[in-house]
């Protein structure tokens, strides 16, 4: 079976005339090349499709991880503020206690 592009080119240049015998081997080599390019293009497209899908999936996973990390960071900041406030209050109470002991 002749590649559709090659068939169109042969028809354009030869019309309805039969292909001369001396060109049949050349046309077969060109036909195999066209078919090989088509096969390679399909493989590349499939590979790109798979890679794109995998990258999209990884991107979604990373977004979820970033959101989780942001939530944890917010929680830690709240806890840090509470703990820092507690430590400051403890230091104040300790000073007050020392004042009472001195009196």
Does any domain span residue 35? yes
pLDDT attached to residue 53: 98
For a pLDDT cut of 90, what percent of the chain falls above it? 76
Q: Is the pLDDT of residue 102 over 80?
A: no
Q: Name the nearest CA neighbour of 2 among 45, 43, 14.
A: 14
Q: Is the pLDDT of residue 35 over 90?
A: yes
Does any domain span residue 80? yes
Average pLDDT over residues 65-71: 98
pTM over 0.75: no
- Residue 3 has a CB neighbour count (10 Å cut-off) of 18
Report the C-alpha gap between 20 and 43 in whole angstroms: 34
Does any domain span residue 33? yes
CA atoms within 13 A on the CB side of 21: 0
Token pair in block for residue 41: 């293009």
Q: Is the pLDDT of residue 89 over 90?
A: no
Token pair in block for residue 85: 């406030």
Average pLDDT over residues 15-37: 95
Q: Per the structure, how many domains does the chain have?
A: 1
Domain extent for 79: 25-102
Does any domain span residue 16? no
């Amino acid at each position: 079976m002749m590649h559709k592009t090659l068939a169109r080119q042969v028809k354009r240049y030869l019309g309805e005339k039969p292909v001369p015998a001396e060109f049949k081997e050349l046309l077969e080599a060109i036909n195999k090349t066209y078919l090989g390019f088509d096969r390679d293009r399909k493989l590349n497209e499939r590979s790109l499709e798979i890679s794109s899908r995998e990258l999209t999936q990884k991107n979604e996973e990373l977004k979820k991880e970033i959101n989780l990390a942001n939530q944890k960071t917010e929680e830690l900041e709240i806890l840090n503020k509470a703990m820092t406030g507690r430590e400051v209050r403890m230091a104040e109470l300790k000073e007050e206690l020392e004042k009472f002991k001195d009196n």
